[in-house]
Chains A and B, each alone.
Chain A
Amino acid sequence: MGNKQTIFTDEQLDAYQDCTFFTRKEILRLHARYHELAPHLVPMDYTNEPDCKLPLALIVNMPELKENPFRNRIVESFSEDGMGNLSFNEFVDMFSVLSEMAPRELKAIYAFKIYDYNVDNYLCKEDLKKTLNKLTKEELTPEEVDLVCDKTIEEADLDGDNKLSYSDFENMITRAPDFLSTFHIRI
């Protein structure tokens, strides 16, 4: 079935199928999308695992990510160097976690990373303010922003330290009924 393509070895495709939630066809399709972002940079032959990374600016302009207020944070969370440069592995990883079939726990881990702007393993009030402003494009008054952030921390904070640790976040997100359906990108 996969003998006609020369982009990946069968072994590689096998590994991808085990390590992500995609089928072989979808992985080839993802490679085509990755390639069309920068046809001169991305080789068509991945059999010897070339070391090619695409910069943040290119990836963030993909139609699936263009309208997302968190696009920069999403790409940064999946990049190894934290700057948003994605290799093909990381690219596939990103869409795999954001696909329909990824389980809630996995998505919760990455959602926490995405919303943690200052990367300190806590969602503090500053992180929440930044998230809220990205969501509403700063159309709430500062008092309203303050109030909403306070209420959010009040709702989810369990250990009383005025910030959300991962366990607070996970406990809250399991009770958010829309999370699985909204934290999902179709590609």
Chain B
Amino acid sequence: MEVDSVFFTDRSGRVTSNPLLDQLPSYQSLLYRRKSSGAGSKRRNSSRNRFGSSGSNKWAVNTVSKHEEKQKLEERPIRELPKTMAEKRQQKAQRLQDAADLSSWRQWKQGTRRYLRRLREDAHDWLSSLQLWRGDIHLIEGMFGQGILSYFSFLRFLVMLNLIIFVLMFSFVMLPIIIAPHTSGNITYNLNDGGICSVYPSSTRRGLVIYYEHIADLLSGGGFLEQTYLFYGYYRAHKIYFPKTTYNLPLAYLLATIAYLFLSLVWIVKRSATGFKRSLIQDEDRFQSFCNKIFAGWDFCITNVNASKLKRSSLLYELKTDLEEERIKQKIADRTRKEKCRIYFIRFLLNLFVMAVLAGCFYSIYKATIFSQKAQMDNIKVNFIVDLIYEYLPSIVITLANFITPLVFSIIINFEDYSPAFEIRFTLMRCVFMRLTSIGVLLFSLWSQITKCKEEPCVCGYNHLLYSCWETRVGQEMYKLTIFDFITIVSVTIFVEFPRKLIVRHCDCGLAKWWGQQEFAIPQNVLEIVYGQTICWIGTFYCPLLPAICTIKYFFMFYIKKLSLINNCRPATRPFRASSSNFFFLCVLLIGLALACMPVIASVAQINCSQACGPFVNYTTSWEVVPTAVSQLPDGVQGLLWALSSEAFAVSFFVVTCLAMFYMIALAGAHKKVIKQLREQLAMDGRDKRFLIQKLCQAQRIPEVRPSQPRQQVLSSSSSRRSPNYETSFSNNFDESLFLVHSPPDSSTHV
């Protein structure tokens, strides 16, 4: 017998399983429930019959660990047991019987527990039936699988988030102003002190207004829209005196802003917690990629013929890519030094090129913004369309840049010779950077315009001649970006994707074949909506109704994208994994949030708020509201708040957080080591097990025989001669167990 083989072959040469292994507690826990049947035995080996007829329950009765197992099973809910329905019902009846023996207090406790569980499940069921777009998402899942599903559920999440943000802003900022007249509240407005800083020329159009000017106003947020609830400038209330309380509107405005940023952060982090854990596990073990694809690769939700074909081809593609990656890894390992130098040099050049492209785009955005602002200030009215283009120039340039740069990046990455997986990630990172930084550049150029005066330094802290109400102006830019983004998405769907589908379907020329049908590229679509959401976060401070606009925008986007997906697209051949994609979306969203916080914080804390409009007229910067309000609180609370914001507290808090983080990192490292050790131990134990069983079977097998000796006697005598290792639970089961499939008539042993 070779050292490595554990299993004997019977006389016909087939490999059969060893009965000793069947008795192991680890097998018992599998609880297979095959019954032997005449028809079944044709397919299976004879050993199966034996195993099947003995039945796992019988073994469970006999092994020593039966008691512990029973206890373990009892703790698990019945439906999590891998048994047939009939057995589960038996188990339930058994448990009920056992429960009847318990005291009435225990019975009541169990009964209420079961009732609460049922109640919770029913409530969960009802809540999920209320979920928005449940049927649509189900349909998409069936047709396109998990990757695209995650995009749509991400979209749904953003709709909910924007709705909640809007409700927050509305109830704390707008509602008090609206209901004040009805509840006999007295609104005091900010006083116009007559200084040069508080001059606010009205921008409403007078005289005869041509109809398209209204459309221009609607699209640009100017004209009749400027002095409405839409923009910051309208909220001039200082305090609202209700019968019982006074409502400090500036404070509420600022705190609502901080609250919505904080709420978004908490909600996103909570949502990404599960994905993050899974991502950590996955990244740790890149070796498991083949197993994952074979055993967890097929999406059981697919019901559509085309989708299954696509899934099949994408799995095939993935497997081939993996095999290719192995080859490339080998190739990289085999690179000579000269080749390495060449590659690094090429990469350095290409990265310089990428930075040059980015710098070019940012410069053009800067120039476009300045040009657009000048055109609006000088009020040159050429033509309706040209005016609109001047207004929208920054948005147009940003959109063009965001359209061209991904193409450039994906061409460049081919020359940089990275592994395929890294290529995808790196290109994506570059695109994310491009998208989100372009908003930053726009805001920076706006800020440079606002704080640039003819005589330095500015009298009011900002350019009051051109920007008497600069927050409203920023709000208008954000509003324009949002509207233009929505228009772009709708027009691309209607004017690019739809004709493309028609051309590819009806025209058989080479161009159509080369262009191919539209693919639903998940990363680019996700970047689009993250971009929109970042604008919303930045803009809500200046344009409190923007979340509502974004909610409506994403609502319509869902239907547009769904239609486009079903009618025009085929799923991407390069699949996007469901687990990592959720985490990726939320990660990019967090980056967007971080980026959105910066301008808001800068403008609240640094830039002087406008003196002509808005709730913060009486303060230098918007942040000043908070210290002023705190100074009106009772002394004790004041002292506490000052202590909390002092440097001592901040430093010690920072130190404690750092310590906690280091502890967590050390713990994670220790766990990793333990896992590695346990794995090695498992492997070693497996080898031990095989070795011992091999020895045991060797010890039992005898070529010549004493035919008339009863088996039990022989075995029991042999048991005493055996080393203590073998006196395990096996020794209890001798009567029924140790018969080898092909054993010689007796199995008397001598060692």
Q: Are A178 and B296 in contact (CB under 8 A)?
A: yes
- The answer on a CB contact under 8 Å between A161 and B295 is no
**CB of A80, distance to nearest CB on chain B (Å):** 6
Pair B303/A182 contact, Cβ less than 8 Å? no
* CB-based contact B577/A67 at 8 Å: no
From B26, B79, B118, B682, contact of A21 by CB (8 A)? B79
CB–CB A120/B323 < 8 A = no
Q: Do A176 and B689 touch (CB < 8 A)?
A: no
Would you call B89 and A185 a contact (CB within 8 A)?
no
Asked if B279 is at the interface (CB within 8 A of a chain A CB), the reply is yes
Interface string of B279-297 (1 = CB under 8 A from A): 1011001011011101111
- Cβ-defined contact, A155 with B291, below 8 A: yes
User: What A residues does B312 contact at CB under 8 A?
Assistant: 69, 135-137
**A91 → chain B, closest Cβ, in Å?**
9
| Stretch with Cβ within 8 A of A (4 or more), from B29-37, B485-493, B552-560 | B29-37
- Across the two chains, which residue of chain A brings its CB closest to B31? A109
B304 and chain A: residue at smallest CB distance: A67
A83 to chain B, nearest CB (A): 7
How many chain A residues touch B (CB < 8 A): the figure is 73
Q: Known contacts A120-B45, A155-B291, A158-B682: does B79 contact A20 (CB below 8 Å)?
A: yes
Contact with A along B311-323 (1 / 0, CB 8 A): 0100110011001
Interface residues of B in 665-685 (CB under 8 A from A): 679, 682-683, 685
Q: Are B39 and A83 interface neighbours, CB within 8 A?
A: yes
Nearest chain-B residue to A131 (Cβ)? B294
A28-36, A40-48, A53-61, A165-173: which lies at the interface = A165-173
B329 adjacent to chain A (CB < 8 Å): no
Cβ-defined contact, B297 with A135, below 8 A:
yes
| Nearest chain B CB to A186 CB, angstrom units | 6
Where chain B touches its partner, the secondary structure class is helix
User: How many B residues touch A, CB cutoff 8 Å?
Assistant: 79
| Docked-complex contact A135 and B683, CB < 8 angstroms | no
- B514: interface (CB < 8 Å): no
Is B621 located at the chain interface by the 8 A CB criterion?
Answer: no
In this assembly, does B48 line the interface, its C-beta being within 8 Å of a C-beta of chain A? yes
Q: Is B399 at the interface (CB under 8 A from chain A)?
A: no
B residues apposed to A, CB below 8 Å: 6, 17, 26-27, 30, 32-35, 37, 39-40, 43-45, 48, 77-82, 84-86, 88-89, 92, 114, 118, 121-122, 125, 138, 141-142, 146, 278-279, 281-282, 285, 287-288, 290-292, 294-305, 307-308, 312, 315-316, 319-320, 323, 577-580, 679, 682-683, 685-687, 689-690
Q: Which 9 A-B pairs have the closest CB atoms?
A: A159-B686, A89-B85, A177-B579, A67-B308, A179-B296, A19-B88, A177-B278, A176-B296, A178-B296
Give 30 CB contacts A-B under 8 Å.
A15-B92, A18-B77, A19-B88, A67-B302, A67-B305, A69-B312, A80-B33, A80-B35, A80-B84, A83-B40, A98-B300, A119-B43, A131-B294, A135-B294, A136-B312, A140-B320, A148-B294, A151-B290, A152-B291, A158-B683, A159-B685, A159-B689, A160-B686, A161-B686, A172-B291, A176-B295, A178-B146, A178-B579, A182-B146, A185-B300
Q: Please report A residues at the B interface, Cβ cutoff 8 Å.
A: 15, 17-21, 23, 25, 63-64, 66-70, 80-83, 89-90, 92-93, 96, 98, 102-103, 105-106, 109-111, 113, 115, 119-121, 128, 131-132, 135-137, 139-140, 144, 147-148, 151-152, 155-156, 158-161, 166-167, 169, 171-173, 175-179, 181-186
